Structure 1
Amino acid sequence: MKYRHVIIIVLLILVVDQSLKFWIKTHMFMQQEYIIFPNWFRIHFIENEGMAYGLKFGGDFGKIFLTLFRLAAVGWGFYYMNKLVKEKYSRGLLICGSLILAGAAGNLIDSMFYGMIFNDSMGYEIAKFMPPGGGYGSFLHGRVVDMLYFPIYEGYLPKWIPFKGGDYFVFFRPVFNVADAAISVGVITILLFQKRFFGRHMQPKTPANNAITNDHLA
Structure 2
Amino acid sequence: MNLKKSLIIIFLILLVDQISKIYIKTHFILGESIDVFDWFKIHFIENDGAAWGKKLSDFLPISDSVGKLILTIFRLFAIVGIGYWLWDIIKKGSPKTLVLAVSLIFAGALGNIIDSVFYGILFDHSNGQVATMFSNEPYGNLFYGKVVDMLHFPMIDTTWPDWVPSLGGKSFRFFEPVFNIADTAISTGVGILIVFNKKAFPKPEKTEEV
Q: By the TM > 0.5 criterion, same fold? A: yes
Alignment of 1:6-155 (within 5 A): 6-38=6-38, 40-58=39-57, 59-123=64-128, 125-132=129-136, 134-155=137-158
Pick the aligned partner of 1:194 from 182, 193, 197: 197
Contact 1:41–1:152 under 8 Å retained in 2: yes
Query: How far does residue 57 in structure 1 lie from its aligned partner after superposition?
Result: 2.3
**Aligned counterparts of 2:92 and 2:53: Cα–Cα separation in 1:** 36
Q: Secondary structure at the match of 1:36?
A: strand
Q: Between the two proteins, what is the percent identity of the paired residues?
A: 44
2:191 aligned partner, one-letter code: I
Q: Secondary structure at the match of 2:189?
A: helix
Q: Secondary structure at the match of 2:29?
A: coil
1:139 aligned partner, one-letter code: L
Root mean square deviation, CA, Å: 1.6
Gaps of 5+ in 2: 58-63
Residue correspondences, number: 204
> Which deviations, in whole Å up to 9, do the C-alpha atoms of 1:130-188 show, x marking residues without a partner?
112x3100010000000000111111112343432331111111111111111111112
Change (3 A) 1:158 1:178: same
> Which deviations, in whole Å up to 9, do the C-alpha atoms of 1:100-121 show, x marking residues without a partner?
0011000000000000010000
Structure 1-normalised TM-score?
Answer: 0.88
More displaced 10-residue stretch of structure 1: 54-63 or 99-108: 54-63
2:121 aligned partner, one-letter code: M
2:41 aligned partner, one-letter code: R
2:134 aligned partner, one-letter code: M
Q: Secondary structure at the match of 1:147?
A: strand
2:42 aligned partner, one-letter code: I
